Structure 1
Amino acid sequence: MVKSAASLEFLDGCIIEKDYFFFSTRLDAQPLDEYDHGRIMWFESGKWFYQDRNWQVSAVCVLAHAASKKDRAYVALEEGSGIVGFYIPGSGKDVIDEALPRGEHGQGIASLTDIAQIGGHLYLCGYGGKVMRRANGKWEYFDNGLKALTLRDFLQRGMSVSDALQAAAHTQRDMIAINGFSEEDIYCVGREGLIFHFDGSIWHQTEKATNVDLNCVHCAADGFVYTAGNRGVLIQGKGNDFHVLISGVDDDFYAATWFDGHLYVGGLKGLYRLEKDGLRYVDTGEGSFKCRALDSCAGQLLVVAKRWLAVFDGLNWKRIDHPDNI
């Protein structure tokens, strides 16, 4: 790898296989109000590789098929361009970009926030009640029961502008994260405590357990769904039944995953593990840090901090630094 000579911050990350990881990053040299550049990275057994993109990447995941671990793609969701990029090992192409419906011809789609493989398909979500699914190689809107009514919808019903603005404000469904046990049991969470459940036919909004923003959701191995957000809010449930757990933590949470029989939650101050009496701070040996993402696979827990990475094998922690951040 040729050094990029530009310090960066990590935005998202996931495990491909043991000691092999995939990330999205943002260069520090990029102005805060500009999003027309993104850099995705791979770390494999001590070596870094990267590719630049024409827009910031909000989320990454691995599209894998059970037939062969070689039959997979590394997926990058651009935040506002309406493009999803696929990096397929051995394909002979650097990247295959797919335009999302209503985002073709450079129109873009604003505020796409998360992407995940659920069952055999990819699902993504975003602001304005957006959920899409990729089936048979094509993207389609998957928002039956979830789609938000817009200002235009209310104006077309004959409302005045002021009444339409007020009505639209109460229907906005800004979704931030998506996860599922199966394609008949999917959960999407977002701002102001929104939790939606897809039951195999339609999305249903569950009864709110909180009004704070929810930033992550994880369908865990214990059969429960966990979602976490601002002000130390941690929620547990499934189906239409959710309740707030007493976390005992003053932090804003942005990531959650299940590892070695426990739920781990990442926030602006570090990493926590759920115990019977609430969340307990996990000492990674790095002090306080901003956790951007968590993932678990192949006997490893991956912690994506703002400036570095850490990997836990159940016994020991290992810090990984990017050379341009040292």
Structure 2
Amino acid sequence: METPLRQTEAADRFNPIEAKMTYIKKDLWAKHFQSWHITDCAVREKSVVYFCLRKKTSPEEASLIFDHDIRSKLFVLSLSSPTGDRFGATTLEGYNKPRVGVSRKPLPQGLLVSRNNDGQVNIMGGGVDTADEFIAPGKVPMTARVKCINDYAYSVGGGRAIYKREDIGKWIKIDAGFPAVEADTAQGFNDMDAFSETDMYAVGGHGDVWHFDGKLWTQQGFPSNVQLATVTCAGDGQVYISGEGGSLWRGKLSTWELIYQGASSILWNDVLWFDGKLWLASDYQARTWDGKQLQPITHNGQQIPIYGHMDAHDGLLVIASPEVVKAYDGKEWRTLVAPYLD
């Protein structure tokens, strides 16, 4: 049985000296990161990365308030500056369990989406000032993830709720083929991915797997009714689904094989294809799949101490833990954000 890497272990292994070599300098870190946790990340292009930050809150304080009472921040970092000082930040009130994502059409922008009744969205970038959008006013889109597919942003939510952002302020529901039944916990979705707009997969709930051919969603057979977390349309032509225990399935449509039996107490946050292999990240660990087993992430013989949430696009992989962010371009790792302890 694989023993997951605990958050405290990862922190113990972090070398404070490394902070002196990070892209984000001390003054910027102190202003925008020191009192905040990083909860999500999204790569718009290899030089532009967005983060979702939440104000640090003690367990005692958090037990007395609602999630939307915790302040949120949408932060964008440009990696094109040699001094690491090109950024943007917006602090937001009332955002419940927000997730960050990007769109590349109709404009290159970052999106912070609140899981509230209207699906409120704060927009950043594109060279324009854009008012908050609302995915589906009063219809509770329950955004669990924001995915960019064929350059368009999609909100993926519970009760099989999928919305595509077709234009500025215009979200349309992609639901042809879903039965009109009252949503329950056995239904998805937690994630979606695609080879193209006519070959999409969405998963969630308890073994709830669907395929979209560009016109209709059709439910697929799946060999288990466990909770499903992620789906990845990979560069090797296969589809990978992760679920309860951190287990991993591979296949297509209604044909699936269990390739890794996990024993973790938590789900994978993100699973993606980068640099010719599958990468997986959770709140405890980050791993790659070598075709037979999960392997620690290493570089030049040294393990990379990172975990959390991740995204990849345009030749850049970013993995963000609550306080440390690392980026990998297929050749070298570098630290974008890290605590300054002196």
**TM-score under structure 1 normalisation?**
0.79
CA distance in 2, matches of 1:257, 1:307: 22
Match of 1:78 among 78, 97, 114: 114
1:57/1:96 CA distance change after superposition, 3 Å? farther
Tell me if the contact between 1:7 and 1:324 (Cα under 8 Å) persists in the aligned partners: no
Q: Give SS of 1:175's match.
A: coil
Alignment-derived partner of residue 3 in structure 2: none
Q: Tell me whether 194-203 or 15-24 shows the greater mean CA deviation.
A: 15-24
1:49 equivalenced with 2:91 (yes/no): no
Residues 22-42 of structure 1: CA deviation (Å, up to 9, x unaligned): 011211137253224321112
Tell me if the contact between 1:270 and 1:290 (Cα under 8 Å) persists in the aligned partners: yes
Match of 1:258 among 247, 258, 273: 273
1:51/1:183 CA distance change after superposition, 3 Å? same
1:132-171, aligned counterparts within 5 Å?
132-137=163-168, 138-146=170-178, 149-150=181-182, 169=184
Q: Percent identity?
A: 24
Tell me if the contact between 1:206 and 1:240 (Cα under 8 Å) persists in the aligned partners: yes
1:272 equivalenced with 2:287 (yes/no): yes
In structure 2, the gaps of 5 or more residues are 1-27
What is the Cα deviation at residue 261 of structure 1? 0.7
What is the Cα deviation at residue 231 of structure 1? 0.7
What is the Cα deviation at residue 255 of structure 1? 0.8
Alignment-derived partner of residue 22 in structure 1: 50
User: What amino acid is aligned across from residue 229 of structure 1 in structure 2?
Assistant: G
Alignment-derived partner of residue 309 in structure 1: 325
1:289/1:303 CA distance change after superposition, 3 Å? closer
Tell me if the contact between 2:108 and 2:125 (Cα under 8 Å) persists in the aligned partners: yes
Q: What is the alpha-carbon root mean square deviation over aligned residues?
A: 2.9
Larger strand share, 1 or 2: 1
In structure 1, the gaps of 5 or more residues are 151-167
1:256/1:62 CA distance change after superposition, 3 Å? same
Match of 2:74 among 31, 36, 40: 40
Tell me if the contact between 1:307 and 1:325 (Cα under 8 Å) persists in the aligned partners: no
Tell me if the contact between 1:40 and 1:52 (Cα under 8 Å) persists in the aligned partners: yes
Tell me if the contact between 1:114 and 1:126 (Cα under 8 Å) persists in the aligned partners: yes
What is the Cα deviation at residue 190 of structure 1? 1.0
Tell me if the contact between 1:252 and 1:267 (Cα under 8 Å) persists in the aligned partners: yes
What is the Cα deviation at residue 49 of structure 1? 3.3
Tell me if the contact between 1:5 and 1:324 (Cα under 8 Å) persists in the aligned partners: no
